[in-house]
């Protein structure tokens, strides 16, 4: 794993989590 991947993965995870929470809030 490169340092770039290690830095992007948490950000991607938070982005997906935020999207799921947003969709759950709309429904």
Measure Cα distances from 22 to 9, 13, 14, 26, 27 in Å: 20, 14, 12, 6, 9
The pLDDT value recorded for residue 11 is: 96
Per-residue pLDDT of 1-27, as tens digits, reads 678 888 899 999 999 999 999 999 987
Distance CA 12, CA 26 (A): 21
The pLDDT value recorded for residue 1 is: 60
What pTM was computed for the model? 0.59
The pLDDT value recorded for residue 25 is: 93
Max Cα–Cα distance, the chain, nearest Å: 38
The pLDDT value recorded for residue 6 is: 84
Q: What is the dihedral of CA 4, 7, 11, 12, to 10 degrees?
A: 40
Q: Encoding tokens for residue 17?
A: 């989590």
């Amino acid at each position: 794993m490169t340092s770039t991947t290690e830095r992007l993965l948490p950000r991607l995870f938070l982005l997906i989590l935020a999207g799921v929470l947003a969709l759950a809030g709309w429904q």
